[in-house]
Amino acid sequence: METQVEKIGRKKKSQVLSRLGRKPVVIPDGVKVTIDKSLVKAEGKRGNLSWSLPSLITAKIEEKTVVLSPKTVNSETKAFHGLSRKLILNMIE
C-alpha cells in the first residue's frame, strides 16, 4: 500500500517547519534570559524560571530575541519546536 505525501510548494509537508516555532521570542525590558547548553533561565521582577530544552532543539540569543531551531526536521521535532517557543514565551511574559 502506497502512502501519499502532501506537498507544499516544492517541499514535502514533513520538511516544513513549525510556523510558530520560526518566530523569534522577543525579550522584554527588565527580563534577563540566559542559555547554558540546553538550560534556559529567565529572571525578571516576578521571579526566576528555568527549563531544559529537548535534545532535538537548539536555542541562541540574538540581540533582544531568542531564536529556536531544530537539529533535524521530522514530525516529532516540529512539535517540540513550537512547544519550546511557547514555553519560553510564557517564561518571560
CA angle 89–39–16, rounded 5-degree value: 55
pLDDT band at 22 (very low <50, low <70, confident <90, very high): confident
| Cα-based distances in Å from 51 to 44, 59, 64, 89 | 15, 12, 19, 12
Whether 1 has a pLDDT exceeding 50, the answer reads no
Residue-wise pLDDT for 35-46, tens only, equals 999 999 999 999
Residue-wise pLDDT for 41-93, tens only, equals 999 999 999 999 999 999 999 999 999 999 998 888 988 999 999 999 999 98
| pTM of the predicted protein model | 0.77
pLDDT of residue 75: 84
Residue 47, amino acid: G
pLDDT of residue 87: 95
Domains and CATH numbers, the chain: 11-92 (3.90.930.12)
